[in-house]
Amino acid sequence: MFKLKLPTDPRWANIAEGNLQEILTDHAWCEQKAATNAIGLITMLPEYPEIVTELLAIAQEELEHFNQVHQIIIKRGYTFGRTRKDDYVNELVNFIQKGGNRDTLIIDKMLFAAMIEARSCERFKVLTENIKDEELKTFYKELMISEANHYTTFIGFARQLGDAEQVNKRWEEWLEYEAKIIQSYGNKESIHG
């Protein structure tokens, strides 16, 4: 569905399951950052009320996911750690086109969001298929569906705001870039690490 060029090695799930407190803390902060990103996009698009409405729903859903992960952390007696630096996301930020016009920037920010949702969804699928923890299998399967919907929404907005052919071409560039950087990840107890 996402056309990711390099799938996650299923052994990453073993790394994640080896330190559930860490993966859950990292995941919680990823959800908070996703909500913040959606809110940031809202500030760029006041003239599109239907997009603002949808982005608001995504931000609320991401905050609910943050809450759900936080509740799992509490229930399991884990310590909820401080926010983590996400090197993967920071490398993606570097690919956002700078210096162009406002529309180009907004479209690229939509594709940036779509890329993160696509990889997160793919990682949740790997967890669902490879971890032994039944509660988390079910939880990540539900989130996988939500992330897939967010991916579709962001790609759809990019195509709505720009020329669909040009957006598709730029998405291919995003996929190629992401394939290069993701090779360095998949060896830590973090959603994108």
Phi and psi (nearest 5°) for 61?
Answer: -65, -40
Please answer whether residues 66 and 28 qualify as being in contact, where contact means their C-beta atoms are separated by less than 8 angstroms: yes
Phi and psi (nearest 5°) for 153?
Answer: -65, -45
Structure tokens, 152:
């579709």
In 3D space, the residue among 126, 98, 107 whose CA is nearest the CA of residue 10 turns out to be 126
In tens, the pLDDT along 40-98 reads 999 999 999 999 999 999 999 999 999 999 999 999 999 998 998 899 999 999 999 98
Percent of the chain whose predicted confidence (pLDDT) is above 90: 88
In tens, the pLDDT along 113-160 reads 999 999 999 999 999 999 999 999 999 999 999 999 999 999 999 999
Query: What pLDDT is attached to residue 190?
Result: 86
In tens, the pLDDT along 96-105 reads 998 889 999 9
- Write down the pTM of the prediction: 0.95
The highest-level CATH class for domain 8-181 is mainly alpha
Domain assignments of the chain as residue spans, ordered by start: 8-181
CA gap 54, 56 in Å, rounded:
5
The residue type found at 114 is A
